[in-house]
Structure 1
Amino acid sequence: MKLNAAIAALAGLAAAAPSAELDRHRRTPLLAGRADWPNGPLVTSGRWVHDASGKNVTYAGANWPGAADVMIPEGLQYQSIATIVSKVKSIGMNAIRLTFAIQMVDEIYANGGKDVTLEKAFAQALGQANGAKVLAQVLAKNPNFTAATTRLQVYDAVAAELAKQQIYVHLDNHISKGMWCCSTDDGNSWWGDKYFSAANWTRGLAYMADHAKAWPGFVSIGLRNEPREPSSKGQSAAYNWQTWYEYMKQGAAAVHAANPDPLIFLSGLSFDTFLTPVVQGTALSPGSGKFSFGDFAGYANKLVLEIHNYDNSATSCSSLQNNLYRNGFQALTASAVNVFPVMMTEFGFQMDATTWKGVYASCLAAYLPAQKAGWTIWVLAGSYYMRSGRQDYDENWGLLNHDWSAWRSPSYIDGALTAMVKNTLS
C-alpha cells in the first residue's frame, strides 16, 4: 500500500462516525520493511536506533498531551490538527510524543468494546454546558469530526496527519486515570496505587500497541511516564528497583505480543530521573538480580531508555552534564555495562524572552545534539481543555501560545530551538 493511500484511508476512518469505527482485530501493520518513510520497523544496535536500511534515527520533537481529563489530544478547539502539525514541521521536528491514559482503554472495555464519543467525553470532563461549547469549537476547527466521533478516532486523525507530514509517533502511557500528571499523591504513582492497576495497565498497553498498527508513523511506545514513590502506600507494590523490573518486563512483553514492531521505552525511578543500576549492571535492590537483555528474548533490540530532567535551577552546565551521565546517559558509551539508546523525553521551562538563555536551557541545547540523543520537549500545548480542575488553563511552558496560533516565545524558536533540531538531526 502506498504511503499517501494508507494515510488517506486512515484519515477517512478517523473522521467517521462510530458506525465506521476501526475494527482493531482486523488491523495489519502498514509499511513494514518499506524503503520509504518511516522505513521501519526501527531497531536498536548498541547506542543507536536504526531504520530498516541500517541508517541512524533519532528524535527531535515535542510532547503533545492527550492524557488529561477529556482524554484526547489538546488544542483542537483552537486549531485544526493539520495546522498544529504544520507548526511542528515548520521548525524541522520529526517526532511527537503523544500521551494517553489507561482510563480511555478501560472505558472501551467497560462499554463492550465501543469507545466514548466526543460529545460524552467533553461533557464528562467539562460539564454539560461548557463541554458542549468546547465541542462546538473543536468541530468548527476540525469539520471532519462530529459529536459522534470517538476519542480514538481523534488519535487516528492526529496520527494520520503526522504521517502525512512525516513525523514519527511515539505513544506514551502517561497516566492511568485521565488527569493532570504528576505528583506522589495523585493515585497514579506506582503499580497498585489507587488508580494504577497493573492488570489494566498491561491490557491498555497491549490495546494501544495493537490499535496503532494502523498508524503509518507509529514507531515506539513508552511503558509508563515518571514512576514515583506514592506518598500513601496503601495497596501499592514495594517501591524499589526489583519491583520496577518485574513490571517493566510485564509491560514490554504485553506490547511485544500485541505488536512486535515498535521500540519500547523504559523510564526510571524518582519521576524518571535516573536509570543508573540498569546502565551500570548493578543489583536491582533489594534483590540481587540484575538487568539482563536476555529477559527480553526476541525483542532485546527494541529497548530504549528514557530520562526526564527539570533541573531548571542549574548553575553549572558541566555539573548538569555530569549528573545526566551518571543518571543514564552513560548508556550511550562503552563504559556502560548495558549499552542502550537514551532519549530525553521531557525537559522544559517557561517560554519567554530570556529563560532559554539561562544555564539549564542553553546547556541542554548543546548537550543533547552533541550526544546525538533524541529528545521531546515539554510541551507543545499552549493551553489545556482542563488542568487540575481549571478549564482552558494557560500553559506558560507551551511552545505555542494560548490559542495555539503562534509561537509563545519566537526568540527561543529562532534563537535556540530550530538550531537544536537541526544539530540533533544533522
Structure 2
Amino acid sequence: MARSIYLCIFLLFITWIPILSTSFPLSTKTRWIVDEKGQRVKLACVNWPAHLQPAVAEGLSKQPLDSISKKIVSMGFNCVRLTWPLDLMTNDTLALKITVKQSFESLKLFDDALGIQTHNPKILNLPIFNAFQEVVSNLGQNGLMVILDNHLTYPGWCCSDNDLDAFFGYPNFDPVIWAKGLGKMATLFRNVTNVIGMSLRNEPRGTRDYPDLWFRFMPKGAEAVHAANPEVLVILSGIDFDTNLSFLRDRFFNVSFTDKLVFEQHWYSFSHEGGAWVKHNSNDICAKIIGEVNHNGGFLLDRGFPLILSEFGTDERGVDVSGNRYMNCLVAWAAEKDLDWAVWALTGDYYLRTGTKHMVETYGVLDATWKNVRNSTYLQKLSGIQHPFRGPGLQEKKLVLHPHTGLCVTTNHSGNVPTLRLELCTQSESSTFNPKEGILWVNKMCVETPDVAGQKVKLGVGSKCSKLGQISATKMHLSFKTSNGLLLCLDVDERDNIIVANPCKCLTKDASCDPASQWFKVL
C-alpha cells in the first residue's frame, strides 16, 4: 500500500513540472548540449513514431493532439524524437496531395479515420505533410523540443537486416536522394524554433554496413542539413543498428562545422549476446555490457562529443526478466554519464504495424487509450535520469541513485533518530561518497550501520561513521561487516522505501537472483 501511495504522489508531482524556458538555438560545448546562453540543456525525450503507414503520428485517432502533447509534458519529458519516412520529402503525392483521411481510408482504417474526425478534426482533410507540421507546432506550443528522425525510406515498420533500405546503396536507399530529402526537411523547418535537431538516419545496418561507406555518405547528409538549416543539431547514428560507433576511435569525421555535431547510440536488452541477462549474474553481465557500450560509443563523451542514447526501453508489463535487469543497469549507466536520451516509445498502440491493426506497443509509456500511463513504476524509474546532475551553467549536485526505483538517497526525519530513505531525486539532499574514505555523507551527516540484519540505517554527526565498500563487478553494492563478521549491504524495504541493511545478495556468478534492490549508484 505504501508503494502505491508513493507512486500516486510521484505522478501528482510530475503533473506540475513547469515547462522550462530554453534560449534557442542549441549548440554543443565539448560533450554538452547548451542553449544560446551557454547553459546546459538536458534532452529527456520520448520517441513518437510517425513513420509507419499511414504516415501520420500515432495515437491521433484516440486522443486530441493537444492532450497528447500535454501528457508528454506531465510525464516529465521535455523533448520528442519524432520519426518520419524519407518518402515524405521525396514524394510530393504522399506529402501534399494525399490527405490524412485518404491515407487512412486507402488502408481500410475507417475506424481510425472516424477517430481522427472526432478527436482531431482540424487535420482530417490536411495533406500528410501539413498534418506532420501541426504535430510539431503543437509540441512547440506546449514547450516541447523536437528532434526530427529520418527513420526509413518508405512508410512501414523498421528494422531488420534484410530491409531494402537498411544501408547506403541498398535498393531503397539512394544516398543522393536521401541527402536531398534531409535538406528539404531541414529547410521546411528552418524557422521553427522548437525543432532543435535532425537525426540523419535510424539504425544503419545490414551486410554492407561498412565504416568506409558510412564515412563516404554520412558527411554528405550532415552537410545537407547544416547548409539548409545551420541552427539545428545534426545527429549521426552508427552502424549495426546504431549500436556501434567504435570506428570513430581512430578515424576523424570531417565536416565543415563542429558546434552542432551530435552522435546517437541505441541499446536494448537484445543488442548483445542473446539471453545474456538471464544466463549470467546481473552484476557480472551489467559490468561487461557497460564496458562494450562504452567501447562502442560512450568513449565519444570523453573525446568531447555529445552522445544521445536515442533508443532504449523494454516490455513494461514486467514479464521480461532480461528487460527488467537490463533497465536497472542502463539507468545506472545513463545517470553516471548524465546522458541525453530518448526512450522508445510514447506509443500506446499502432494504427497498422506489419499488417496488424491496433497492435499494442508493450514498450510504450502510454496504454492503448493514449490517455493513461502504462506503468507508473517504469515512469518513476525514468524520472531518476530526466534532470541534469551537472554541466555548463549548472551547480553540480552529488546524489546516490537507486536505479531500480529511479529515486535517490535522502534523510528520513520521521523518527527520533535520522535514518535514510528514498525520495524523488529533485527533492533529495546532497550525498557524497569517497571510495577511499568509505564514508557516505547525507546532508552533513554520516551513515551509521546497524549490527543486525534487517535494521534501519541511521545517520550521525561523525563520531560513529561506518566505512562502506563498493563491491561486485558493478561497484553498486555498498557493503560493510558487522562486529561478528557478517557481510551486509544497504538495501531498500519496498514497503516504505526506507533503507535497511541486509545480507549482500547476488554478488557474482548466481544468475537466478536479482540484486537490483541493493544497487546504489554514486553520482
User: Taking structure 2 as the reference length, what is the TM-score of the superposition?
Assistant: 0.66
Residue of structure 1 in register with 2:467 after alignment: none
Report the Cα distance in structure 2 between the residues aligned to 1:217 and 1:424, rounded to whole angstroms. 23
Deviation of residue 396 (structure 1)? 1.1
Whether the 8 Å contact between 1:107 and 1:116 is mirrored in structure 2 is no
| 1:249 to 2:219 alignment | yes
Which residue of 62, 65, 77 corresponds with 1:78? Answer: 62
| Equivalent in the alignment of 1:406 | 372
Counterpart among 111, 122, 129 of residue 104 in structure 2: 122
- Do residues 177 (structure 1) and 154 (structure 2) align? yes
Q: Is the 8 A contact 1:170 1:222 kept in 2?
A: yes
Q: Given that residues 51 and 155 in structure 2 are in contact (C-alpha distance below 8 angstroms), is that contact kept between their aligned partners in structure 1?
A: yes
1:296 partnered with 2:255: yes
The change in CA–CA distance for 1:208 and 1:94 in structure 2 (over 3 A counts) is same
Say whether residues 1:152 and 2:129 are aligned partners.
yes
* Cross-structure match for 2:26: 42
Matches within 5 A, 1:318-337: 318-333=287-302, 336=303
Following the alignment from structure 2 to structure 1, what is the Cα–Cα distance between the partners of residues 59 and 325?
30
Larger relative strand fraction: 2
User: Which residue identity lines up with residue 288 of structure 2 in the other structure?
Assistant: S
Match of 2:167 in 1: 190
* Residue 423 (structure 1) shift: 5.6
Pick one of 278, 296, 311 that aligns with 1:346. 311
Q: More displaced, 310-319 or 364-373?
A: 310-319
- Rounded to whole Å, the distance in 1 between the matches of 2:290 and 2:143 is 31
Which letter does structure 1 place at the counterpart of 2:79? Answer: A
User: Take 1:423 and 1:50, find their aligned partners in 2: how far apart are those partners?
Assistant: 12
Q: Distance in 1 between matches of 2:25 and 2:388?
A: 24
User: Could you tell me which of 271, 295, 306 is aligned with 2:241?
Assistant: 271
Give the whole-Å Cα distance in 2 for the aligned partners of 1:184 and 1:214: 36
CA distance in structure 2 between the aligned counterparts of 1:227 and 1:424, rounded to whole angstroms: 31
Give SS of 2:265's match: strand
Over the residues paired in the alignment, what is the CA RMSD in angstroms?
2.0
Per the alignment, in what secondary structure is the counterpart of residue 350 of structure 2? strand
| CA distances 1:268-301 after superposition (whole Å, capped 9, x unpaired) | 01000010121x2x2xxxxxxx324xx212x221
Q: Does residue 188 of structure 2 align to residue 219 of structure 1?
A: no
TM-superposition CA deviations, 1:342-375 (whole Å, max 9, x none): 1100011001246598321011122212212101
Whether the aligned pair in 1 keeps the contact of 2:24 and 2:193 (CA below 8 Å) is no
Asked if the contact 2:56–2:128 (Cα under 8 Å) also holds between the matched residues in 1, the reply is: yes
Contact 1:385–1:392 under 8 Å retained in 2: yes
The alpha carbon displacement at 1:37 in A equals 3.8
What's the offset of the Cα at 1:194?
2.2
How far the C-alpha of 1:216 sits from its partner, in A, is: 2.7
In 1, distance between residues paired with 2:33 and 2:324?
A: 31
Distance 1:424-1:272 versus aligned 2 partners, 3 A rule: farther
SS at 1:213's partner residue?
coil
CA distance in 2, matches of 1:81, 1:49: 28
What amino acid is the match of 1:346?
E
Q: Which residue of 1 aligns with 2:263?
A: 305
Distance 1:409 1:239 in 2: 36
* Percent identity between the two aligned chains: 30
What CA distance in whole angstroms lies between the structure 2 residues aligned with 1:364 and 1:388? 29
Other-structure match for 2:228? 258
1:381 equivalenced with 2:359 (yes/no) = no
Equivalent AA in structure 2 for residue 257 of structure 1 = A
Match of 2:335 among 337, 350, 369: 369
Give the TM-score normalised by the residue count of structure 1.
Answer: 0.80
Question: Residue 138 in 1 paired to residue 124 in 2?
Answer: no
* Contact 1:61 1:377 survives alignment (8 Å): yes
Q: Distance in 2 between matches of 1:241 and 1:51?
A: 32
Q: Is the 8 A contact 1:370 1:424 kept in 2?
A: no
Q: Shift of the alpha carbon at 1:424?
A: 6.2
CA distance in 2, matches of 1:355, 1:411: 15
- 1:92 matched to 2:56: no
Runs of 4+ in 1 over 6 A off after TM superposition: none
Structure 1 CA distance, aligned partners of 2:308 and 2:268?
14
**Once the 2 structures are TM-superposed, how far is the Cα of residue 259 of structure 1 from its aligned partner?**
0.8
Distance in 1 between the 2:319 and 2:105 partners?
Answer: 39
* DSSP 3-state at the match of 1:344: strand
Secondary structure, aligned partner of 2:186: helix
Q: Are 2:96 and 2:128, in contact at CA under 8 Å, matched by a contact in 1? A: no
Distance 1:195 1:154 in 2: 25
Q: Which consecutive unaligned segments of at least 5 residues does structure 2 have? A: 1-19, 271-275, 391-425, 427-523
- 1:17 corresponds to which residue? none
In structure 2, how many angstroms separate the alpha carbons of the residues matched to 1:198 and 1:277? 20
Q: 1:219·1:262 contact (CA, 8 Å) conserved in 2?
A: yes
CA distance in 1, matches of 2:316, 2:142: 25
- Larger gyration radius, structure 1 or structure 2: 2
8 Å contact kept, 2:318–2:324: no
Of Structure 1 and Structure 2, which has the larger fraction of its residues in helix?
A: 1
CA contact (8 A) 2:149 2:202 kept: yes
SS in 2 for 1:296: coil
Shift of 1:214: 3.8
Q: 1:401 to 1:424 in 2, by over 3 A?
A: farther
Secondary structure of 2:151 counterpart = strand
Distance 1:115 1:250, change over 3 A: farther
Q: For 1:107 and 1:133, locate their aligned partners in 2 and report how far apart those are by CA, in whole Å.
A: 26
**1:29-86 CA-partner distances (Å, limit 9, x unpaired):** xxxxxxx943122111211111100001121121000011111110101011111111
Q: 1:317 to 1:423 in 2, by over 3 A?
A: farther
Residues 190 and 239, structure 1, Cα contact 8 Å, conserved in 2 = yes
Q: Determine helix, strand or coil for the equivalent of 1:272.
A: coil
The equivalent residue for 1:13 is none
Question: Is the alpha carbon distance of 1:254 and 1:115 closer, same or farther for their aligned partners in structure 2, counting shifts above 3 Å?
Answer: farther
- Counterpart residue number, 1:27: none
Cα deviation digits, residues 382-406 of structure 1 (max 9, x gap): 1111111111111111111112121
Corresponding residue SS for 2:290: helix
Question: One-letter code of the match for 1:322?
Answer: G
